[in-house]
């Protein structure tokens, strides 16, 4: 399956919880339903908490994968819900 082309991108690799989710949520709030956000995040708490939190808020996690040339860094693709 092809990866959705992101409408917006943010990098939260230098942020710590809870700011990782706060920055992601604030960006999603500026988007319209159906738009796609690509989030670059690190391992640990952000990797566990951000995907769970956006799903709980009604958005869809389309993909979550480690960036192969940057071990410990992940790409999270989110489709904004209604």
Which sequence positions are flagged as catalytic?
17
Range 12-42 burial, b when 16+ CB lie within 10 A, else e: bbebeeeebbebbeebbeebeeeebbbbebb
For residue 37, list its beta bridge partners.
8, 78
């Amino acid at each position: 399956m092809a990866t959705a082309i992101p409408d917006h991108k943010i990098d939260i690799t230098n942020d710590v919880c809870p700011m990782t989710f706060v920055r992601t949520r604030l960006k999603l709030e500026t988007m319209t339903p159906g738009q796609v956000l690509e989030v670059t995040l690190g391992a640990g708490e952000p990797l566990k908490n951000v995907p769970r939190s956006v799903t709980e808020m009604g958005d869809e996690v389309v993909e979550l994968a480690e960036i192969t040339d940057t071990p410990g860094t992940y790409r999270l693709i989110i489709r904004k819900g209604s």
